[in-house]
Structure 1
Amino acid sequence: MKKLLPLFCLFTLLTAFTCENEPLDVGFDLGENNNNNSELIGTWELVDFDVTLVSSSTFGDQSFTSDIAIISTEEDYTLNFTQNTFTTSGNYTYDTQVAVNGDTVSTDAYSMESVNGNGTYSTVNHVMTVDGSFFDFEFEGMDQSALQGEQTVTFSISNDGQTLTFSQDETTSQTDPATGNVTDNTTTSTSVWIRQ
């Protein structure tokens, strides 16, 4: 059971990793249908990322809390935006720590090398709709690069146009219709990029 709950939590985390909630700081025309992506166009270099997922579940009379922390340790990774598409390339490493009911059950380091990705995007105000994924992840030997698809992302660009930040603070709740068991997930994540 200790391995199953963290794995479920990580799956939830990875499908929502790039969903962000931070206000836009640049001078975009924030009209209702703004698709002017000129402030994003160019190459951005990853500075760091961190993700925390807290999952609380109740199974019958027992409650379980799983905490997953993912923190980048080395970054040599870029994100390149054109008008409507993006590509990613490079390498990065990260550490994961999984705890169940306060007890650490695993601490692992992962290295992602020669990562290449691509997709499309559009923006309205400070919300980006992405079809693809900015990151690939691996957890306990399983490749998570297939966790792609359309996602909603909120982003911020600094006033000087040199720092791009994605951040997320999201809580979801799921009830298993067959058992009535409830799982609450809170995801907090940030990735910071600088213009090259």
Structure 2
Amino acid sequence: MKKLLSLFCLFTLLTAFTCENEPLDDGIESGSNDTNVALIGSWELVDFDVTLQTSTEFMGETFSSDIDIQSTEENYVLTFTESNFTTAGDYTYDTNVAVNGATVTSEPYTLDNVSGSGTYSTSGNEMTIYGSFFEFEFEGMDENLFQDEQTTSFSISADGQTLTFTQEETVSQTDPITGIISSSTTSGGSTWTKQ
């Protein structure tokens, strides 16, 4: 059961970083080349956090979980060119999980020598990413399964030195075959500073 729960938590974490979101209004012009010019260069990770609340109902039983993820050590760089990005470095994060109100686990995860790449495009303050900014591994699971297209909101500070990504999403669905009803609310973000 613990392995299944850990696998669920990993999937939840990956989903949190790959959800589509509604854009925030930060005054960035849609289709503006200035946006991509402001992004070009290297950005050092300051922190990231994700909160996920889920509820699943099956055969009259309801299961809920709360997952809080917070970076604790960051040595990670995201570099943008005009339409591509690369990532490199290390990071550590704590994961706190509670199922039906009882704490199941609280342990740190460290990922060393992480590197990746992909492409991106912007429209206003919304970025569509083809690839992944973060890498997650768990007991041999292939993280490439989670590197599809994703959309996130972003903003750049007035002085051009701070880049912030935010994600907020609520999803509810019912499986027509099993009758499982599930809903999840995800909120998260990451902050980066220009190198």
TM-score w.r.t. the length of structure 2 is 0.89
The equivalent of 2:15 in structure 1 is 15
Runs of 4+ in 1 over 2 A off after TM superposition: 1-10, 18-25, 33-36, 141-145
Q: Counterpart in 2 of 1:83? A: 82
CA contact (8 A) 1:78 1:90 kept: yes
| Code of the aligned partner of 2:104 | V
CA–CA distance in structure 2, aligned partners of residues 177 and 2 of structure 1? 27
Cα-Cα RMSD: 2.0
User: Residue 16 of structure 2 contacts residue 50 of structure 2 at CA under 8 Å; is this kept in 1?
Assistant: no
Residues 1-196 of structure 1: pairs in structure 2 closer than 5 A: 4=4, 7-8=7-8, 10-19=10-19, 21=22, 23=24, 25=26, 28=28, 30-31=29-30, 33-36=31-34, 37-139=36-138, 141-143=139-141, 145-146=143-144, 147-196=146-195
Give distance in 1, aligned partners of 2:184 and 2:154. Answer: 22
Identity, in percent, stands at: 59
Secondary structure at 2:132 match in 1: coil
- Residues 193 and 24 of structure 1, relative CA distance in 2, 3 Å threshold: farther
Partners in 2 of 1:124 and 1:66 — Cα distance? 34
Question: 1:58·1:182 contact (CA, 8 Å) conserved in 2?
Answer: yes
Q: Equivalent residue of 1:138, what SS?
A: coil
> CA 1:8–1:72 in 2, change beyond 3 Å: closer, same or farther?
same
Distance 1:54 1:150 in 2: 23
What residue ranges of structure 1 are gaps of 5+ in the alignment? none
In structure 2, C-alpha distance between the alignment counterparts of 1:11 and 1:35, rounded to whole Å:
35
Contiguous gaps of at least 5 residues in structure 2: none
